[in-house]
A and B are shown apart, each in its own frame.
Chain A
Amino acid sequence: MAILQRKEPHSLISFRGFGSVTGLCLFILYVPMLVLVVFSFNANRAVTVWGGFSLQWYAKAAYNGGLQNAAWNSLVVAVIATIVATAIATAAALATGRGQRFRGSQAFYMLVNLPLMLPEIIIAVGTLSFFALLGMKLSLLTIIIAHTVFCIPFAYLPIRSRLETMDARLEEAASDLYASPLDAYRHVTMPLLMPGIISGAMLAFVVSLDDFIITAMVAGAGSGTLPVYVYTQLKQGVTPEINAISTVLLAVSIVLVAASYFVAKAGSKHVRPATEQP
C-alpha cells in the first residue's frame, strides 16, 4: 500500500482516469455475482423483476429435502477429500522440497501441478472412463475419490511454497540439538509449515465444494452435490431459490478463501530468518 500512496511521477497511477478504469473493471468482474445476491432477496417470483426484500427463498431452500441431501453430500465429499488430499500433498511437498533431491524431482513437481492447467472436462471424462474400466458403480464414493485426486495439486501449491520460504537450516539446527528426525519434524518443521497446510486445506475444500464438471460425470443417482443439484434445478428455470443457494455457496467460498489468505499471511512473520529483521 505504501507504494500506491507514494505517487511516482511516471507511475501508472498518476495517469488521469486510472481510478475510474479500475473501478469499471472491478464492476464488470463482480456484477454477475451482485445480481445473483440481490435477487436472492427478491420477494417476487420473477427473477428479473424486483418485488421488495424478502428472506422467503432462503427459508424455502432450507426446507427442501433434495437440497438438504445435496448439501450433506457436498459437505461429506469436501471434508474427506480435503483431509486425504492435504495429507498426501504435505507428504509430497516434504518429499520434493526437503531431503535428498531425487532423480526426476523437477519432473515430479510439474506432474503434480499439470492437472491445474488441463481442461477440466478432459479430467472429468478420463475419470469417468477409468471408473467404468474398473467396473465401479457411480456413487458418493466415486465422487470422493475423484475429488481427493483433483484436490491434491491445489493443496500442494501453498504447502510447497511455504516450505520453500522456510529455512532448511532450522531442521539442521534441530538435529544438531539432539532432535531425532521425528522430533525435528514435530517441533520445528510441522509448526512452521502449519500455515501452508491450513491454507492448502482450505483451498482444497473450496475447490471440492464448488466443483461441477467432474462431479456431474462421476455422481451416481441421488449422490449429487450442491452444484450438481443447482444445475439440475436450472433446467426448470432460474428461481430465486437457486439464487439463495448460490449466495450461500458463494459466501462460504469467500470466507474460506479469505481465511486461507489471512492464515498464510499471519504465518509469514514467523518464517523469515530472524536476522533479516532489525
Chain B
Amino acid sequence: MTIELKSISKIFAGGSAHPVLDDINLTINDNEFFTLLGPSGCGKTTLLRLIAGFEHPTSGTIELFGERVEGTPPNARPVNTVFQHYALFPHQTVAQNVGFGLRMLRRPAPEIEPEIERMLRLVRLEGLAHRYPHQLSGGQQQRVALARALAARPRVLLLDEPLSALDSKLRDEMRVELKLLQRNTGITFIFVTHDQGEALSMSDRIAVLSEGRIQQVGTPDDIYERPRSRFVAQFVGETNVFEGKLIRLPGKQPEFKTSSGALLPLGDTPADDDNPALAFVRPEKLRLGNPDDLASDPQARLRGVVTNKLYLGTDTVYYVDLEGGETLRARIQNASAIDNRFDVGAAVRVRAEEGAFRTVGRST
C-alpha cells in the first residue's frame, strides 16, 4: 500500500464553514495510475496538496508507505509534483531545473550530471538543456516539469492537471506518453483532472469527487458502465437520464417506468437497489430502426421521432423525442453509409442491448 487516507477532512480557515474535503477514505496501491476526477471546486487539488504536504488536514490521517506524515513538510516527503502551470524556475536553465531536486538532496555533482541527461533523454529534450523556460513551448515546458519531478526518483508522482494548458493534439500524445512512463518507471502516479476522457484513458483506478466527497472509486470500466450515483453517471460520459420508478414483477425481468409512462427494459439491477428513482442509458448503446422492422423486437419498445441530428464524422448523434415526451440522444457509429439514414422528422424505434438501461438512486 502506497498511500492510505483515513477520514480526511479539510476546512479552510476564514473560508466558509462548508468543508473542502469531507471524510475522505482512500487507499492507493503501489505502481498504480490513480486519478482524482471531478469538476472544479470538488476538492481534488486540495487532496493532492494534502498528499504533497502544502496543506494540512483539519482532521484525519495520511500514511505514506505505512508512516503517518501529517506533520511532515513537503521537502521531507518522497513525493514530487508536476504543477498545473509547471512552476518552472524562470531564472534557471532546463538542466538546472531538472537537477534542482538532486542538488537539494546534496548529491555529488558527478552523480547529478548523468542523471539530468538521462531525464532529458526520457522526455526527449536532449538539445534544450541550456535554454531558459521562457524560451520553450508549452509542450516542452510540460516535459521539463515532468523531468524535474522524476529526476529525484520519487516513489509517488503527483500530477495536477498537467495537460490542461496544452492544445488538444499534444494532449492526446501526452496521454499515451504519461501512461507509458508510469508503466515503465513503476512509480505510483496520482493524477488530478476534470477531463473524464483523460481519466478513462489513462487510469488503473479512478476516484470521482464532488463537493468534497468521494462519489465512487473503481476501474474506468466500473465508473463508466456501472456508476453508482446520478452525479457519476452524468459527469463521466454522455447520459440519457429518466425519472420514474422500478417495477419488479415475479418471474419477469425488472422494468423501469418513466414518469411519462414509457417502460424501459432493465438488465440485472443490484439487489440492494430496491428503490431506484433514476434510469439512464449511454447514447452509444442505442440503435435506431424503422418502426415496422422492429415491431416484434422486445428490446425495441420505445418509439419516437427524430427531432435533430448532429453529424460528427465517426458518429451521428440523433435527438429522438419519445412518445411520452422525453428526449433521448442516440449516438450511432457511421460504420457504413446506411447508418446515417434517418432524417429529422423520421419515425423510429429505439433499440437497446440487454442491460443497456441501468438504474441509480435519486439521492446518492
A residues sitting closer than 8 Å to B (CB atoms) are 167, 169-170, 172-180, 183, 187-188, 191-192, 269-275, 277-278
Select B90's contact among A176, A179, A270, A278, beta carbons within 8 Å: A270
Known A191-B91, A269-B134: A169·B85 in contact at CB below 8 Å: yes
**Could you tell me if B91 and A176 are in contact, using CB atoms closer than 8 angstroms?**
no
Complex Cα spacing A167 to B282, Å: 43
**Could you tell me if B91 and A169 are in contact, using CB atoms closer than 8 angstroms?**
no
Residues of A within 8 A of B54 (CB): 172, 176
* A170: nearest chain-B partner, CB-CB: B87
* A278: nearest chain-B partner, CB-CB: B137
Complex Cα spacing A270 to B93, Å: 12
Complex Cα spacing A183 to B134, Å: 23
Residues of B within 8 A of A274 (CB): 86, 88, 90, 133-134, 136, 141
Known A169-B83, A271-B90, A274-B141: A179·B75 in contact at CB below 8 Å: yes
Known A169-B85, A191-B91: A275·B138 in contact at CB below 8 Å: yes
Q: With contacts defined as CB atoms under 8 Å apart, how many contacts are there between chain A and chain B in the complex? A: 83
Residues of B within 8 A of A187 (CB): 100, 104
Return B170 CB to nearest CB of chain A, in Å. Answer: 13
Q: Chain B 67-88 against A: per-residue CB contact (8 Å), 1 yes, 0 no?
A: 0000001111001110101111
Most buried by A among B73, B87, B100: B87
Residues of B within 8 A of A273 (CB): 85, 87, 90
CB of B231 closer than 8 Å to a CB of A: no
**Could you tell me if B90 and A173 are in contact, using CB atoms closer than 8 angstroms?**
no
17 extra interchain contacts, Cβ-Cβ under 8 A, other than A183-B104, A192-B91, A273-B85? A167-B87, A172-B83, A175-B73, A176-B79, A176-B81, A178-B75, A179-B75, A179-B104, A180-B75, A180-B104, A187-B100, A187-B104, A192-B90, A274-B88, A274-B136, A275-B141, A275-B165
Select A270's contact among B74, B79, B91, beta carbons within 8 Å: B91
In the complex, 24 of the A-B residue pairs with CB atoms within 8 angstroms, ordered by the A residue number, are A172-B54, A173-B87, A174-B89, A175-B73, A175-B75, A176-B52, A176-B74, A176-B75, A176-B79, A176-B80, A177-B75, A178-B75, A178-B104, A178-B152, A180-B75, A180-B104, A187-B100, A188-B89, A192-B90, A272-B134, A273-B85, A274-B136, A275-B86, A275-B138
* A177: nearest chain-B partner, CB-CB: B101
Size bracket of the B interface: 20 to 34
Q: Is the interface of A mostly helix, strand, loop or mixed?
A: helix
Residues of A within 8 A of B104 (CB): 174, 177-180, 183, 187
B residues sitting closer than 8 Å to A (CB atoms) are 52-54, 73-76, 79-81, 83, 85-91, 100-101, 104-105, 133-134, 136-138, 141, 148-149, 152, 165
Complex Cα spacing A175 to B54, Å: 9
Complex Cα spacing A274 to B94, Å: 12
* B136: nearest chain-A partner, CB-CB: A274
Residues of A within 8 A of B138 (CB): 275
Complex Cα spacing A180 to B105, Å: 10
Listed from nearest, the 6 A-B pairs whose CB atoms lie closest are A274-B133, A177-B101, A173-B87, A178-B104, A169-B87, A175-B74
Residues of B within 8 A of A183 (CB): 104
* A173: nearest chain-B partner, CB-CB: B87
Return A71 CB to nearest CB of chain B, in Å. Answer: 38
